[in-house]
Amino acid sequence: MGAYEIIKDAILIAQKADNAPLVQALFDAQQQALDLQEENAKLKEQVKELLDNKRLEKKIIRHERTIVTLKGDKQAIRYCSACWDRGRKLIQMRIMTVYGADTSTLEYPVCSSTSPNKLSSNR
């Protein structure tokens, strides 16, 4: 039996005893227990996100240009290093290719910046 259920039972007993101050105190305690449960759930989610980011951080490979890739990624998807540094977000960059040219431009969809990129260079 959890704290919420115990307090709920105590409220019923206090109501039968016609003890209004005790009922109010138990209602307050019940609300605090609910608030603590909610805060606990939020903190667990934050811990999960931090652990996920820590695991991901170990896979980050930084390159000369403003890109990062992930170890073990056979596709070598390019991500914006600025977005990773600012908010630990992996934002995939778009490759804008000019038809018939051997160069392309990397476009950063969130940062709205661009940088030249040779298609033949290492990804």
* pLDDT tens, residue by residue, 103-116: 667 776 777 655 55
Structural domains in the chain (count): 2
Could you tell me if 51 and 99 lie in one domain? no
pLDDT at residue number 118: 46
Alpha carbon distances (Å) from 49 to 14, 37, 72, 120: 42, 19, 21, 36
pLDDT at residue number 113: 55
pLDDT at residue number 120: 35
pLDDT at residue number 82: 85
Could you tell me if 47 and 77 lie in one domain? no
Tally Cβ neighbours within 10 Å of residue 103: 12
Q: Which domain holds residue 89?
A: 60-118
In a domain, 47, yes or no: yes
In a domain, 123, yes or no: no
Flag whether pLDDT at 10 surpasses 70: yes
Mean pLDDT, rounded, for 30-42: 92
**Per-residue model confidence as pLDDT tens digits over 41-100:** 999 999 999 999 999 999 999 987 788 999 999 998 989 888 888 888 898 887 777 676
pLDDT band at 121 (very low <50, low <70, confident <90, very high): very low
In a domain, 99, yes or no: yes
**Residue of higher predicted confidence among 102 and 27:** 27
pLDDT at residue number 55: 93
Could you tell me if 65 and 50 lie in one domain? no
pLDDT at residue number 116: 53
